[in-house]
Chains A and B, each alone.
Chain A
């Protein structure tokens, strides 16, 4: 798993740098406030936003090569969305008071308003879109299945059992409208996560108007890479034929998204360097001493440059399909490592230097406990298990899969 790999990498760095503090930290800053769980949270939300945006490409912009993964993307977004707030909850000092954020929110707080953005996205966008998309199938399953399953699907149909051409047309229309609302919502969702960090003026590493946009594009990158991985793995385990047209499209989109994302991050970097504000010396020291492995090696070299170059070669070079698939798979895996490192570098990096701008501290990762490494791994595996259950309840694969793939290939070659 990419995340365990990267966590191990980080553990190694920490041991290598266990000399502790250097310079001066305010006493209250010795311990980091936000640990691994808060790294996982933007990572998961990013995957949600990315997977949804990918699905909407097929729906709204008629990218027909993506048809085989449309439903799979929606279900993946839902699976990751269900788990995304849990790391936040586990991290709270008083999780039992969490509902106060909804019941008595402080309207000026970016974090409080995020609860509503999340609720909007989950209920209005994701659930509704999936429901409208699957309604026809749900009704059919409720007629075909027997026993408890029959009643389960009957309940899922919410009593809307008409499958007349008009009602199916209505489903499609609604699905499209929700997707159109969904795209800005997905942008909002992850842009907002960026804003939670970017609006903290006390922290020069976070405080940047570019952060929400960088978060957004890295979300798209991670979402595309995730769908590439999920599509390849699920097809392999089901012994089905994979659509090369779909994979090529995903590889191409991933390549473009990484380029934009990397350019934005480069812009942010150059901007900081050129402005050379008060914080520049401590931030440079942090990058070279504390974040070298996770930023330079994991995020930039392994997570961005290597996949970008290899994707470019695989997509636009003349490679046999088997090799191409392997390159796509490895590139997508590396991208996940890279994006997880990006989240790490933002969240942990933002707390490694003192706000007195005079010293650096270290992050000591716990292994056990609510905020430890094992809990984190659990949070990263849980969405995959949920996705597995979801694909059992709402199978995203078309019944005539071969025909769909053949059509897709045809349409793409005709273009």
Chain B
């Protein structure tokens, strides 16, 4: 049978094939491995690469309460003065006697003038938040595993899973948790997880005018936190409880608890 001319000229066929086949191979590979490849395309963020932590320099805190305010706005924390993801405490140490502590509305509206009769030795502010403990008692006690430690070292609450038993609130030695009044689940600081996973800073760190709060990663030498840990004498709160907190305080004496 005579054929006047081929349907596709040989040269053209080879050229098209050379262009398309590698693409097809890749597409086939993508289909066969499924999720992995697709995820890799979107995932510049790998939680295993991170271990978030925070440093707080007490000497720098001026007690302006911007951090507590920003936190409430950023995370839609109920505005009542019984619910805080972060708050600022003021310590007043008299020359003689016990330290006195206050935190009116978490420090958001500032602090009233000190009208102590006794002579004051010193006074300072301490920002508080969830310590994202490595050995977190709240994670241990949660009966359904709704409170968990993420792979990037942040203690989180799955609000679609929490039963609201409040055992975690009892187990937290730092008073960092509360029961959300409308969601009826445990709530707490997430280090602004929605921000940090996009490479942004937590709201409280971003608004702090004095760089009291230093956010970063443990084990990353280039992280500002590592510089903080290297040059400051740091403490963690209630170290005796072996919760292994990941919020490091510079300048916190024994009276801070």
Instruction: Provide 16 A-B residue pairs closer than 8 Å at the C-beta atoms, listed in order of the A residue.
Output: A27-B105, A28-B178, A33-B170, A88-B165, A94-B184, A94-B185, A97-B144, A104-B145, A105-B144, A111-B167, A112-B143, A202-B137, A202-B172, A203-B170, A356-B101, A358-B101
Does B110 sit at the interface, judged by CB under 8 A?
no
Q: A97-B162, A112-B143 are in contact. List 16 more A-B contacts (CB 8 A).
A: A27-B83, A27-B105, A28-B169, A28-B177, A28-B178, A92-B163, A95-B163, A104-B145, A106-B144, A200-B170, A201-B137, A201-B241, A203-B170, A356-B175, A357-B257, A358-B99
- A111→B165 contact, CB < 8 A: yes
Does A108 sit at the interface, judged by CB under 8 A?
yes
The 9 closest A-B pairs by CB, nearest first: A93-B164, A26-B175, A93-B184, A202-B173, A112-B143, A106-B145, A24-B101, A111-B143, A33-B166
Q: Which of B83, B89, B128, B163 contacts A94 (CB 8 A)?
A: B163
Nearest-neighbour CB distance to chain A for B180, whole angstroms, equals 8
- B143→A34 contact, CB < 8 A: no
Q: How far is the CA of A251 from the CA of B99 in the complex (A)?
A: 52
Chain A residues contacting B81 (CB-CB under 8 Å) are 27, 30
Interface mask (A15-59 → B, CB under 8 Å = 1, otherwise 0): 000000000111111110110000000000000000000000000
Chain B residues contacting A92 (CB-CB under 8 Å) are 163-165
Chain A residues contacting B84 (CB-CB under 8 Å) are 27-28
Does B142 sit at the interface, judged by CB under 8 A?
yes
Chain B residues contacting A163 (CB-CB under 8 Å) are none
Q: How far is the CA of A178 from the CA of B140 in the complex (A)?
A: 33
Nearest-neighbour CB distance to chain A for B60, whole angstroms, equals 22
Count of A-B contacts judged by CB separation below 8 Å: 121
Residue of A nearest to B103 (CB): A27
Interface mask (A94-115 → B, CB under 8 Å = 1, otherwise 0): 1101101100111011111001
Residue among A27, A97, A101 with the most chain B CB within 10 A? A27
- A34→B144 contact, CB < 8 A: no
- B179→A33 contact, CB < 8 A: yes
Q: Which of A108, A111, A355, A358 contacts B173 (CB 8 A)?
A: A355
Chain B residues contacting A112 (CB-CB under 8 Å) are 143-144
Chain A residues contacting B164 (CB-CB under 8 Å) are 92-94
Contact-residue size bin, chain A (C-beta under 8 Å from the other chain): 35 or more
Does A354 sit at the interface, judged by CB under 8 A?
yes
Chain B residues contacting A111 (CB-CB under 8 Å) are 141, 143, 165, 167
Residue of B nearest to A358 (CB): B101
Chain A residues contacting B179 (CB-CB under 8 Å) are 33, 93
Q: How far is the CA of A26 from the CA of B141 in the complex (A)?
A: 21
Chain A residues contacting B252 (CB-CB under 8 Å) are none
Chain B residues contacting A109 (CB-CB under 8 Å) are 140-145, 167
In the complex, chain A residues 198-228 whose Cβ is within 8 Å of any chain B Cβ: 200-203
Does B106 sit at the interface, judged by CB under 8 A?
yes
Q: How far is the CA of A111 from the CA of B89 in the complex (A)?
A: 33
In the complex, chain A residues 169-202 whose Cβ is within 8 Å of any chain B Cβ: 196, 200-202
Nearest-neighbour CB distance to chain B for A393, whole angstroms, equals 33
Does B215 sit at the interface, judged by CB under 8 A?
no
Interface mask (B243-257 → A, CB under 8 Å = 1, otherwise 0): 000000000000001
Chain B residues contacting A24 (CB-CB under 8 Å) are 89, 100-103
Residue of A nearest to B170 (CB): A200
- A201→B173 contact, CB < 8 A: yes
Does B201 sit at the interface, judged by CB under 8 A?
no
Does B82 sit at the interface, judged by CB under 8 A?
yes
Chain A residues contacting B171 (CB-CB under 8 Å) are 200, 202
Residue of A nearest to B175 (CB): A26
Nearest-neighbour CB distance to chain B for A81, whole angstroms, equals 20
In the complex, chain B residues 167-214 whose Cβ is within 8 Å of any chain A Cβ: 167, 169-179, 183-185
Chain B residues contacting A355 (CB-CB under 8 Å) are 173-175
Nearest-neighbour CB distance to chain A for B179, whole angstroms, equals 6
Q: Which of A27, A100, A110, A358 contacts B161 (CB 8 A)?
A: A100
Nearest-neighbour CB distance to chain A for B6, whole angstroms, equals 64
Residue of B nearest to A100 (CB): B144
Residue of B nearest to A91 (CB): B165
Q: Which of A28, A101, A350 contacts B143 (CB 8 A)?
A: A101
Chain A residues contacting B105 (CB-CB under 8 Å) are 27
Chain B residues contacting A203 (CB-CB under 8 Å) are 170
Chain A residues contacting B161 (CB-CB under 8 Å) are 97, 100
Q: How far is the CA of A112 from the CA of B167 in the complex (A)?
A: 11
Q: How far is the CA of A92 from the CA of B162 in the complex (A)?
A: 10
Interface mask (B69-103 → A, CB under 8 Å = 1, otherwise 0): 00000000000011110010100000000011111
Chain B residues contacting A110 (CB-CB under 8 Å) are 141
